[in-house]
Amino acid sequence: MSDAHKGIAQSQESINKRMLKMIGQKRSDETKLLLSKINKGKKFSEEFKSKLSKSAKNRTLSEKTKLEMSKKMSIAKSKPRKQYKLLSPDNYEYIFDGLKSVFEFAKDNGISITLLKNFKNKGKLISKAPNTEYSSNWEFISL
């Protein structure tokens, strides 16, 4: 923007005119990349987030788009979750579907989630922290 136009607010008519002109135009990959770099790390206010949410809810989708979204969701739901096994210090086996259930179990039983992540499929958990006898002798295996 040149110095001559700095500080001059555009009229609502000008804004609407430009907006209508841009509807339906595709952006080049270069433009998308540039906008992505510009917007990376931006923090949005709660007010702005609620405006985005409201506009997304009011958006009308074509039947083709709805069908594609439906297919993607059904594929995601039908995929079996990965199974994991925890072997306790008492040699008792716990089998879980998905990481979320493993982490919930670990949190409830005082097992370090960080150790679980670091020692998956590498044998017994090793902890240097004191008083972790129970939490450090587990084995975490993905099936």
Query: Which residue, among 125, 123, 124, 122, has the nearest Cα to 113 in the 3D structure?
Result: 125
pLDDT at position 13, please?
Answer: 93
Return the bridge partners of 87, or none.
93, 139
Confidence of residue 30 (pLDDT cuts 50, 70, 90): very high
Model confidence at 6: pLDDT above 80: no
pTM above 0.75? no
Report the greatest alpha carbon distance in the chain.
77
The structure tokens 């500080």 sit at 7
Cβ-based neighbours of 106, under 8 Å, separated by 6 or more: 86, 112, 113, 116
Model confidence at 101: pLDDT above 80: yes
CA angle 68, 37, 18 (to 5 degrees): 75
pLDDT digits (tens, 9 = 90+) for 50-86: 998 888 888 888 899 889 988 888 877 777 778 888 8
Can you give the residue ranges of every domain in the chain? 83-142
Q: What is the CA radius of gyration of the chain?
A: 26
